[in-house]
Amino acid sequence: MTFQCYFPRSSQPSAIGAVFVTADGVRRLIPDHWLAQAELSEHGRLLRLIYTCCTIEVAGQRLETPFEDAMVGRLGMILEGSAMSMPGGQLWVNSILAIAPIDAVPAFERE
């Protein structure tokens, strides 16, 4: 079984922002125009997205594609995957961490 951790915006043409989905199914949509800065560090293993309302840190591997999409204001959907099924050499998201105040962003429970 494969698990895809990133869906580019091209797969969601009507989206107005990035969607972050935690392992427990909580979804948060953050509009593109709230993004102030994007940083990629630790050799593509940490993506830090600084929004006007909060900071989102995405940890994983091969996060270059989501970083490039964020830089052009077209970040898609990022899903937190299980560490047990981590594939080697592929884009993978170990964790999504929201640094307060995240309450400004509504959460949408699993559908």
Does residue 47 belong to any structural domain of this protein?
yes
Judge whether 52 and 46 are in contact, CB under 8 Å: no
What domain count does the chain have?
1
Judge whether 65 and 93 are in contact, CB under 8 Å: no
Residue 72 has pLDDT above 60, yes or no: yes
Residue 71 has pLDDT above 70, yes or no: yes
Residue 86 has pLDDT above 80, yes or no: no
Judge whether 17 and 29 are in contact, CB under 8 Å: yes
Alpha carbons within 13 A on the beta-carbon side of 108 = 8
Structure tokens at 93: 């998201």
Does residue 18 belong to any structural domain of this protein?
yes
Does residue 72 belong to any structural domain of this protein?
yes
Does residue 62 belong to any structural domain of this protein?
yes
Range of the domain at 60: 6-108
Does residue 36 belong to any structural domain of this protein?
yes
Q: What is the pLDDT of residue 111?
A: 46
Does residue 1 belong to any structural domain of this protein?
no
Does residue 39 belong to any structural domain of this protein?
yes
Does residue 59 belong to any structural domain of this protein?
yes
The model's pTM is 0.85
